[in-house]
Structure 1
Amino acid sequence: MNLSKLPFVVTLICISTFLSINAQEFNAPKFGKGLFNLVGKDSTWTMKVGLRFQSLATSQWDVNNGLSNPESSMLIRRSRLKFDGYAFSPKLKYKVELGLTNRDQSGASYYTHNSSRQILDAVLKWNFSGNFVLWFGQTKLPGNRERVISSANLQQVDRSLLNSRFTIDRDMGIQLRHKFKLSETFVVKEIFSIAQGEGRNVTRGNQGGHQFTTRVELFPFGEFASKGDYKGSDLKFEKNPKLSLGIAYDFNNNASKTRSNQGAYMYINGTSEGSGAEFYQTNISTLFIDAMYKHKGFSFMAEYAKRNADDPYAKNSDGTLTGDEVQVGNGLNLQTGYLLSKTVELSGRYTNISLDKTITGKAAENQYTLGLSKYIAGHSLKVQTDLSYTDIGLKTNQLLYRLQVDIHF
Structure 2
Amino acid sequence: MKTKITLIGALLFAITFLSAQEIKSGKFGKGLFNVVGKDSSWTMRVGLRAQLLGTSTWNEGESGETSFLTRRSRLKFDGYAYSPKLKYKIELGLSNRDQSGASSFTHESPRYILDAVLMWNFHKNFVIWFGQTKLPGNRERVISSANLQQVDRSLLNSSFTIDRDFGFQLRHHFNLSKNFVVKEIFSVAQGEGRNVTRGNLGGHQYTGRIELLPFGNFSSKGDYKGSDLKREQKPKLALGVSYDHNNDAVKTRSNQGSYMYIDGTEGDGYKGSFFETNINTLFIDAMFKYNGFSLMAEYANRDAKDPLAKNSDGTLTGDEVQVGNGLNLQTGFLLKNDWEISGRYTNIDWDNLTGNSNQDQYTLGLSKYISGHSLKVQTDISHLEVAGGSNQLLYRLQFDIHF
TM-score scaled by length of structure 1: 0.96
Q: Secondary structure at the match of 1:155?
A: coil
After superposition, give the CA deviation of every residue in 1:212-239 in whole Å (9 maximum; x if it has no partner): 0000000000000000000000000000
Q: Secondary structure at the match of 1:217?
A: strand
Count of residue correspondences: 402
After TM superposition, the structure 1 = structure 2 runs for residues 260-271 of structure 1, keeping only pairs within 5 Å, are: 260-271=254-265
Distance 1:190 1:15, change over 3 A: closer
Structure 2: give runs of 5+ residues left out of the alignment.
none
- Mapped to 2, the partners of 1:208 and 1:275 lie a distance apart of 11
Q: Which of 311, 315, 320 does residue 320 from structure 1 map onto?
A: 315
Q: Which of 11, 16, 36 does residue 33 from structure 2 map onto?
A: 36
Question: Is residue 2:58 matched to residue 1:61?
Answer: yes
Corresponding letter in the other structure for 1:336? T
Corresponding letter in the other structure for 2:196? V
Corresponding letter in the other structure for 2:324? G
Partner of 2:15: 16
Partner of 1:179: 173
Q: Kindly state the Cα deviation for residue 59 of structure 1 after the two structures are TM-superposed.
A: 0.3
Partner of 1:279: 274
Corresponding letter in the other structure for 1:278? S
Q: Secondary structure at the match of 1:163?
A: helix
Question: Is residue 2:350 matched to residue 1:361?
Answer: no
Q: Kindly state the Cα deviation for residue 55 of structure 1 after the two structures are TM-superposed.
A: 0.3
- Mapped to 2, the partners of 1:183 and 1:120 lie a distance apart of 37
Distance 1:310 1:88, change over 3 A: same
- Mapped to 1, the partners of 2:19 and 2:32 lie a distance apart of 13
- Mapped to 1, the partners of 2:216 and 2:401 lie a distance apart of 30
Partner of 1:290: 285
Corresponding letter in the other structure for 1:401? Y
8 A contact 1:46–1:85 mirrored in 2: yes
Q: Kindly state the Cα deviation for residue 199 of structure 1 after the two structures are TM-superposed.
A: 0.2
Of all paired residues, the percent bearing the same amino acid is 71
Corresponding letter in the other structure for 2:152? D
- Mapped to 2, the partners of 1:285 and 1:293 lie a distance apart of 27
After superposition, give the CA deviation of every residue in 1:317-357 in whole Å (9 maximum; x if it has no partner): 00000000000000000000001224100000000000102
Q: Secondary structure at the match of 2:146?
A: helix
Question: Is residue 2:237 matched to residue 1:246?
Answer: no
8 A contact 2:207–2:243 mirrored in 1: yes
Question: Is residue 2:387 matched to residue 1:393?
Answer: yes
Q: Secondary structure at the match of 1:304?
A: strand
- Mapped to 2, the partners of 1:354 and 1:319 lie a distance apart of 28
Partner of 2:83: 89
Q: Secondary structure at the match of 2:371?
A: coil
Partner of 1:373: 367
Q: Kindly state the Cα deviation for residue 3 of structure 1 after the two structures are TM-superposed.
A: 5.3
Q: Kindly state the Cα deviation for residue 12 of structure 1 after the two structures are TM-superposed.
A: 3.8
Partner of 1:108: 102
Q: Kindly state the Cα deviation for residue 10 of structure 1 after the two structures are TM-superposed.
A: 3.2
Q: After the TM superposition, which parts of structure 1 deviate over 4 Å for at least 4 consecutive aligned residues?
A: 2-6
Partner of 1:52: 49
Partner of 1:77: 71
After TM superposition, the structure 1 = structure 2 runs for residues 60-209 of structure 1, keeping only pairs within 5 Å, are: 60-63=57-60, 65=61, 68-209=62-203
- Mapped to 2, the partners of 1:40 and 1:30 lie a distance apart of 20
- Mapped to 2, the partners of 1:330 and 1:376 lie a distance apart of 37
Q: Kindly state the Cα deviation for residue 17 of structure 1 after the two structures are TM-superposed.
A: 4.3
- Mapped to 2, the partners of 1:211 and 1:106 lie a distance apart of 23
Q: Kindly state the Cα deviation for residue 109 of structure 1 after the two structures are TM-superposed.
A: 1.2
8 A contact 1:347–1:371 mirrored in 2: yes
Partner of 2:347: 352
Q: Kindly state the Cα deviation for residue 5 of structure 1 after the two structures are TM-superposed.
A: 4.6
Corresponding letter in the other structure for 1:131? N
After superposition, give the CA deviation of every residue in 1:37-63 in whole Å (9 maximum; x if it has no partner): 000011100000000000000001023
Corresponding letter in the other structure for 2:390? T
Q: Kindly state the Cα deviation for residue 30 of structure 1 after the two structures are TM-superposed.
A: 1.1
Q: Kindly state the Cα deviation for residue 393 of structure 1 after the two structures are TM-superposed.
A: 1.1
Q: Kindly state the Cα deviation for residue 364 of structure 1 after the two structures are TM-superposed.
A: 1.0
Q: Secondary structure at the match of 1:305?
A: strand
Q: Secondary structure at the match of 1:194?
A: strand
8 A contact 2:3–2:94 mirrored in 1: no
8 A contact 2:22–2:38 mirrored in 1: no
8 A contact 1:111–1:205 mirrored in 2: yes
- Mapped to 1, the partners of 2:5 and 2:317 lie a distance apart of 38
Q: Kindly state the Cα deviation for residue 114 of structure 1 after the two structures are TM-superposed.
A: 1.6
Q: Which of 305, 319, 326 does residue 310 from structure 1 map onto?
A: 305
8 A contact 1:7–1:98 mirrored in 2: no
After superposition, give the CA deviation of every residue in 1:256-307 in whole Å (9 maximum; x if it has no partner): 0000000000000010012457000000000000000000000000000000
8 A contact 1:4–1:115 mirrored in 2: no
Q: Which of 373, 388, 407 does residue 401 from structure 2 map onto?
A: 407
8 A contact 1:245–1:292 mirrored in 2: yes
